[in-house]
Structure 1
Amino acid sequence: MRTIDKLLIQYGESHQNKTNVVIHAIAVPSIYLVTLGLIWCLPVPSFLSQFDVTWAHVLAIPVLYYYFLLSGPVGAAMTLLTIACFGVIKLLVNAGITVWVFCLALFVVMWVLQFIGHKIEGKKPSFFDDLRFLLIGPVWWWAHWLKRMKISY
């Protein structure tokens, strides 16, 4: 069995309750977005800023590499999500919204929702056992969409 299949099965074990699944369908991609947004806000050295590159861009490279190692379609899907997240961050900037404040507030709200979902589920979050599940959450979200589009991951 492929690593991606094992990880998704393990992640899915603590995401069976319908309410928890709905909460995670909203919270997981939101947390991915705001995490990138918070990292995007960190000051960068001038050699990076002159190219309009942030720490979020730098971090996205090894993260996306990991996703492509798991599966090509997963890597492509996560690349799309990452690009969309950077687009949303740019929209926030262009709208004059303070990115770090918006992202921090949404980060807290989404994590509270996730813990409420796990309380309803009656199971602890998967990342308590393995930190990789912090990266698998968005893949689990995508796996549902890929299945609906009849794309194997």
Structure 2
Amino acid sequence: MMKGRSWDEWIAQYKLSHQNRWNQITHMFGIPLIGISLVLAPGLLLAPGLWPWVAALFLLGWLLQFIGHAIEGKPPEFFSDWRFLFVGTRWWLRKVTGRL
């Protein structure tokens, strides 16, 4: 799935379009909001009244991502390769654990 490239190689490319501090900050909040919304989504079958909250988390997360890229002046990496959707999550985990 990752074209024989290591996670370090994918993240190094990802980091090139995430140099601006404000873009990094928007991603630090946006990525977990999207992740939380995706984790909660299956539960909407049991609690359909929560869908506005889950949708709001998802949309806010993506809004923050695109605001960050507008500030950076570079398009999101996933525009060129969908696998960067997964790389962004890995980047976030490394960033918050101090291993980036």
Same fold, judged at TM 0.5 (above)? yes
Instruction: Give the TM-score, by structure 1 length.
Output: 0.56
CA distance in 2, matches of 1:128, 1:2: 18
Instruction: Give the TM-score, by structure 2 length.
Output: 0.83
Number of equivalences: 97
Instruction: Give the gaps of 5 or more residues in structure 1.
Output: 44-92
Instruction: Give the gaps of 5 or more residues in structure 2.
Output: none
Q: Does 1:12 align with 2:19?
A: no
CA distance in 2, matches of 1:142, 1:120: 22
Calculate percent identity across the aligned residue pairs. Answer: 39
CA distance in 1, matches of 2:37, 2:51: 8
Aligned CA RMSD, in angstroms, stands at 2.4
* 1:119-134 superposed matches below 5 A: 119-134=70-85
Once the two structures are superposed, what CA deviation does each residue of 1:74-105 show, in whole Å capped at 9, x if it has no partner? xxxxxxxxxxxxxxxxxxx6xxx933221101
Distance 1:26 1:39, change over 3 A: same
Report what 1:98 is aligned to. 49
CA distance in 1, matches of 2:61, 2:40: 14
Pick from 26, 41, 51: which aligns with 1:38?
A: 41
Letter in 2 for 1:21: Q
* 1:56-71 superposed matches below 5 A: none
Q: Which runs of 4+ in 1 moved over 4 A?
A: none
Which entry has the higher C-alpha Rg, 1 or 2?
1
Give 1:37 deviation, angstroms: 1.7
Q: Does 1:114 align with 2:65?
A: yes
